[in-house]
Amino acid sequence: MQKSSLFQKSLTKIWDTYSKDVGKSLIHLGAVGWIFGALAQIGALAFNKKIDKEEKNFLFPQEIADGIINVGLYYTICQGIKSFADKCVDKGKFIPEFVHSAYEKLTANKNLFSQAQQTQIFDSKKNLTKTLNAVTDSAFVKNLPISTQNFITNEIKPAAAKLSGWKNGIGTLATFGASVLACNIITPYARNIIASKIQSMTGKKTYYDYKAYGKICSFSQSKTFSKFKI
């Protein structure tokens, strides 16, 4: 029998983890992408000889803060919002009506299953995904009477498939929205505050008082800006 190499194990892991959950792949790969992007920007800044030291003094902390905050907030916010969205679906708070009806039919026909089977299907806490997956599992179904099998095939299996697609879609949309919130709203605001604090701690003077030049309607461009030929 062919043995699974490390490469094939990796491919199997990708299949198992991400083939049914696009949102999860967006979160994990997004975080990895941001880490690499941040490292590249910091490296490029470090080796850019044309930016003067004064400007690097501000841009460095900004890039580092940008990277740490971006990755940290991205993962935390996306994972948090996606988990909340998944929970809403699992608890039946936000599902297609068809799925809700099928679940109600299943709970109404609990007596088709033995006590042990009911324990297998129904969790102590309501979880539609677990319940519908458990009851439609082929290993579970094959031991049931034909009439029960028909009931599951006709009434429950279509609902389980619909729920899977719905949950995947909700998770994807939740991750999209969460990533926009994390990367484009919360992160820029947070990074500027932190980078500015770091700059003020370094004691750099950044403000050129144009009034010191003695004229009201003309002023010299600041040294910082005029030097900015990258």
Q: Which of residues 10-69 bind another protein (CB under 8 A)?
A: 11-12, 14-16, 18-20, 22, 25-26, 29-30, 32-33, 36-37, 39-41, 43-44, 48, 55, 58-59, 62
Stretch that binds another protein, among 107-115, 117-125, 143-151, 222-230 (CB under 8 A): 222-230
Q: Where do we find the tokens 């319940």?
A: 131
Scan residues 113-132 and list those touching another protein (CB under 8 A).
none
- Binding of residue 154 to another protein (CB under 8 A): no
Q: Where do we find the tokens 């007596």?
A: 111
Residue 68's alpha-carbon distances to 49, 81, 187, 200, in angstroms, are 24, 20, 10, 19
Number of residues that bind another protein (CB under 8 A): 82
Label residue 190 exposed, middle or buried (CB < 10 Å: 0-12, 13-18, 19+): middle
- Binding of residue 201 to another protein (CB under 8 A): no
Stretch that binds another protein, among 107-115, 123-131, 143-151, 218-226 (CB under 8 A): 218-226
What minimum distance in Å lies between the beta carbon of 214 and another protein?
11
C-beta of residue 95 within 8 angstroms of C-beta of residue 89: yes
Give the pair of three-digit tokens for residue 62.
């900004």
What minimum distance in Å lies between the beta carbon of 32 and another protein?
5
What minimum distance in Å lies between the beta carbon of 229 and another protein?
7
C-alpha 28/C-alpha 22 separation (Å) is 10
Phi-psi label, residue 164: left if phi above 0, alpha if psi -120 to 50, beta otherwise: alpha
